[in-house]
Amino acid sequence: MRKLLAILAILSPLTSHLSPLVAQQQNNVIDEVVWVVGDEAILRSDVESLRRDPSWSQIKGNPYCVIPERLAIQKLFLHQAAIDSVEVGEAQVNAYVEERINEWVMTAGSREKLEEYMSMPISQIREELFDRYRDEMTVSRMREKLTEDVKVNPAEVRRYFRDMPEDSLPLIPTQVEVEILVQQPRIPEDEINRVKEELRGMAERITSGGTSFSTLAILNSEDKESKLQGGELPYMGKGELDPAFANVAFNLTDPKKVSKVVESEFGFHIIQLVDRRGDKAKFRHILRRPVVAQADIDAALLRLDSIADDIRKEKFTFEDGAAYISDDKDTRNNHGLMTNQKQKPEGGMIQTPKFEMGELANVSSELARVVDGLEIGEISKPFQMTNRRMKTVCAIVKLKNRIKAHRASMSEDFQVLRDIVLNRKKAETIDEWIRQKQKTTYVRINPEWCDCEFEYPGWVKE
């Protein structure tokens, strides 16, 4: 774990001077138990490792007080999670681990460079990361369980903000509501056949034993996230995958076999079964996308230019055009209106048509740039963009509404204000839970580690 935490230093902007400090610390620390919480120990080496972790560099106060207290609080939650049988799915943890490893490999430059620095193979890095993130995600799930019954009503929200000065009210960033009409550039049949033949050739090489699926995935797959793992995806259920992909993948029974070529919303694939666990399975895949020729992009832009002209001449509305002409399945049934899926404070997801500009840029930087220059009701010129499925498409957009940055008001931003009060109430619930658990949990702190102003003074028993 200490080596794993040290990677955050070597891969950060602090690379030049943090890595030798980490190495020196690992060689010189004589380990000892500094805290005991229940039957769990906190080691000096745990504290030192986190002290060198750049993600903890912004903590306020003495790190030898703050860090062990944070670890102690984590152990309280993990102990309660074990009692309440609160668990995090392996697939969810694996997905998060793979995302982090991909980021580190890209920063380090290659898998080999990452393994060289860590002095361990990717498989071991993955294993140690799994333990760390499983604990963090379990704590998060336990916090959600402890606050799942916390609610607020409109009267509480009004009472909380009633006497607050206007300049103390939260600032709501500029938000936009956007309608989109998409045209997919035509892809010639011979280009589609080329990609299929390419994948069939790879499948034959794998089946004949000429090369491994993993090697070909690393060399050829266009799925940037999985290719570094040899095309391997985390354990997933059928409903978590593209329907066309899932229908073929979950019919595979022999790990030595390779599927036929499958077309999904993301492109074309060949798939191999790795393992099954109940209703979840792990697969490898190689993704290839047909090359979109500039001439076909230009043709799609020209079609959109004509469509936009007809809308401006009021031959039909933008909304009708989006419903009947657009190739975008995500917005077609909504008459082109884009929706933003966001996490709710009480758990679950909520869909809203409002996007902050940063959120829109996460969907597509090209889209955000075009929308930023529009007036309300204006239709854009046709433009090229990469959609959420990493496909090249052409689009026109209409700015339906722009809500300028402003101080929150009860009439316009009740949901935002409600969430603030709800989060505050949840924080108070968690705070009280920690204070109560301190009273009933055995805690021993080495004397030299007691001279601290803890956030929760109850650790030190009189």
Q: Looking at beta carbons, which pairs linking 14-18 to residues 24 or more positions away fall under 8 Å?
A: 14/54, 18/52, 18/54
Give tens-digit pLDDT for 330-387.
899 999 999 998 776 655 667 889 999 999 999 999 999 999 999 999 999 999 999 8
Judge whether residue 296 has pLDDT over 60: yes
H/E stretch holding 368 reads helix 365-372
Distance CA 2, CA 360 (A): 38
pLDDT band (50, 70, 90) for residue 17: very low
Angle between the 154-161 and 414-440 helix axes, to the nearest 10 degrees? 90
Task: Please identify which residue in the block is written with the tokens 């230009």.
Answer: 298
* Residue found under tokens 């220059």: 373
Q: For residue 30, name the pLDDT band (cuts at 50, 70, 90).
A: low
What is the pLDDT confidence band of residue 14, given thresholds at 50, 70 and 90?
very low
Average pLDDT over the chain, rounded to whole?
Answer: 87
254 band by pLDDT with thresholds 50, 70 and 90: very high
Predicted pLDDT at 55: 65
Cα-based angle 13, 19, 22 (whole degrees, multiple of 5): 130
d(CA 394, CA 398): 14
Which of 75-84, 96-105, 406-415, 419-428 is least confident?
96-105
The three-class DSSP label of residue 282 is strand
Q: Give the helix/strand (H/E) hosting 384.
A: strand 383-386
Q: What is the mean pLDDT of residues 67-72?
A: 94
Q: Give the three-state DSSP class for 380.
A: coil
What pTM, to 2 d.p., does this model score?
0.66
**Which tens digits make up the pLDDT trace of 48-68?**
888 876 666 677 889 999 999
Lowest mean pLDDT among 108-122, 219-233, 351-365, 390-404: 108-122
Mean pLDDT of 84-108: 80
Dihedral of alpha carbons 343, 347, 352, 354, sign:
negative
pLDDT bucket at 402, cuts 50 / 70 / 90: very high
pLDDT score recorded for residue 462: 63
Q: Are 389 and 266 in contact (CB under 8 A)?
A: yes
Question: What domains does the chain contain, in order, with CATH numbers?
Answer: 2-149+428-459 (1.10.4030), 175-186+292-407 (3.10.50.40), 189-288 (3.10.50.40)
Task: Give CA torsion, residues 382, 387, 392, 396, to 10 deg.
Answer: -10
Most confidently modeled of 3-7, 23-27, 365-369?
Answer: 365-369
Alpha helix ranges (H) inside 147-188: 154-161
Q: Are 292 and 188 in contact (CB under 8 A)?
A: no
Give the model's pLDDT for residue 344. Answer: 65
Higher pLDDT, 37 or 3: 37
The helix or strand, by DSSP H or E, that contains position 403, with its residue range, turns out to be: strand 392-403
Residue whose entry in the numeric block shows the structure tokens 């609610």: 151
What span, in angstroms and rounded, lies between the C-alpha atoms of 426 and 345?
9
Q: Which two tokens stand for residue 64?
A: 């030898």
Per-residue confidence band for 8, with pLDDT thresholds at 50, 70 and 90: very low
- Under the banding of pLDDT at 50, 70 and 90, the label for residue 92 is confident
Q: Which amino acid is at 282?
A: K
Q: Where are the alpha helices (DSSP H) in 61-110?
A: 63-83, 90-108
The owner of tokens 């995302």 is 99
Residue 347, pLDDT score: 59
Can you give the pLDDT at residue 20?
32
Sign of CA dihedral 6, 10, 15, 16: positive
C-alpha dihedral sign at 266, 269, 275, 276: positive
Q: Residue 18: pLDDT above 50?
A: no
What is the rounded distance in angstroms from the CA atom of residue 274 to the CA atom of residue 175?
Answer: 44
Each residue's pLDDT tens digit, 133-142? 899 999 999 9
> Token pair for residue 36?
């005991």
What secondary structure letter does DSSP report for 110? Answer: S
